[in-house]
């Protein structure tokens, strides 16, 4: 993940007065814009595609964490058993 560019820190008032410019800039360079109010970070503006990418990464990492927790707590089955069970389910479905 890329680090935040300190050049992309803008006052909220400036953003409000120049929204079209900032949205256009965001679409072109895809870098987050940090908005400040009274000198403190208030919000981060992200390109929609970049936001979705971050959400996908978070979702993936949650799934990895769940998998690691399953391994840690011995909630796993050998691959061969899983394939065997799937084969049994398919065979039963075909005979119906």
Tokens of 21: 């410019």
Return per-residue pLDDT of the chain as tens, 96 residues.
566 666 789 999 999 999 999 999 999 998 999 999 999 999 999 999 999 999 999 999 999 999 999 999 999 989 999 999 999 999 999 987
- Which pLDDT score is estimated for 36? 96
- The single-letter DSSP state of residue 24 is H
Q: What is the largest CA-CA distance in the chain?
A: 71
Contact 59, 39 (CB under 8 A): no
- Which pLDDT score is estimated for 3? 66
Tokens of 19: 């929204």
| Sign (positive or negative) of CA dihedral 87, 89, 92, 96 | negative
- Which pLDDT score is estimated for 37? 96
Boundaries of every domain in the chain:
1-46, 48-96
CATH number of the domain located at residue range(s) 1-46 in this protein: 3.40.1620.10
């Amino acid at each position: 993940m890329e680090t935040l560019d300190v050049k992309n820190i803008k006052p909220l008032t400036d953003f409000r007065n120049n929204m079209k410019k900032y949205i256009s800039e965001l679409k072109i360079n895809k870098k987050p814009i940090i908005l400040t109010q009274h000198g403190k970070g208030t919000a981060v503006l992200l390109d929609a595609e970049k936001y979705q990418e971050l959400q996908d990464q978070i979702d993936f990492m949650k799934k990895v964490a769940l998998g690691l927790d399953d391994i840690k707590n011995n909630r796993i089955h050998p691959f061969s058993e899983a394939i065997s069970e799937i084969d049994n389910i398919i065979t039963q479905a075909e005979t119906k």
